[in-house]
Amino acid sequence: MSKFDVIVLGSGPGGYVTAIRASQLGLKTAIVEKESLGGVCLNWGCIPTKALLKSAQVFEYLKHAEDYGLSAKEVDYDFGAVVKRSRGVADGMSKGVQFLMKKNKIEVLNGYGKVQPGKKVLVKGEHGDTAEYTADHIIIATGARSRELPSLPQDGKKVIGYREAMSLEKQPKKMIVVGSGAIGIEFAYFYNSMGTEVTVVEYLPNIVPVEDEDVSKQLERSFKKAGVKIKTSAEVTKVDTSGDGVKATVKTSKGEEVLEADIVLSAVGIKTNIENIGLEDVGIAVDRDKILVNDYYQTNIPGYYAIGDVTPGQALAHVASAEGILCVEKIAGMHVEPLDYGNIPGCTYCMPEVASVGLTEKQAKEQGYDIKVGKFPFSASGKAKASGNADGFVKVIFDAKYGEWLGCHMIGAGVTDMIAEAVVARKLETTGHEILKAVHPHPTMSEAVMEAVAAAYDEVIHL
User: Given this model, what pLDDT does residue 267 score?
Assistant: 95
Q: Tell me whether residue 161 is annotated as binding.
A: no
For the chain, report the end-to-end CA distance as a whole number of angstroms.
Answer: 68
Within 13 Å and on the Cβ side, how many CA atoms surround 119? 15
Q: What is the pLDDT of residues 390-419, one digit of tens each?
A: 999 999 999 999 999 999 999 999 999 999
- Quote the pLDDT of residue 105: 96
113 known member of a binding site: yes
Residue 181 known to bind ligand: yes
Query: CB atoms < 10 A from the CB of 179, how many?
Result: 26
- The per-residue pLDDT for 317 is 94
The region, left, alpha or beta by phi > 0 then psi within -120 to 50, assigned to residue 165 is alpha
Domains and CATH numbers, the chain: 2-146+271-341 (3.50.50.60), 159-268 (3.50.50.60), 352-456 (3.30.390.30)
Residue 419 assigned to a binding site? no
Counting beta carbons within 10 angstroms of the beta carbon of residue 343, is it exposed (0 to 12), middle (13 to 18) or buried (19 or more)?
Answer: middle
List, by residue number, the catalytic residues: 442
Strand partners, 354: 348, 411
> What pLDDT, on the 0 to 100 scale, is given for residue 253?
87
How far apart are the C-alpha atoms of 194 and 239, rounded to whole Å? 25
Residue 74 annotated as lining a ligand binding site = no
Query: How far is 210 from 315, CA to CA, in rounded Å?
Result: 13
Tell me how far apart the alpha carbons of residues 87 and 168 are, in angstroms, rounded to a whole number. 11
Query: Between the CA of residue 321 and those of 314, 325, 329, what are the distances in Å?
Result: 12, 6, 12
State the pLDDT at residue 304: 98
How far, in Å, CA of 139 to CA of 297, rounded? Answer: 9
Ranges of residues in the chain with a pLDDT under 50 are none
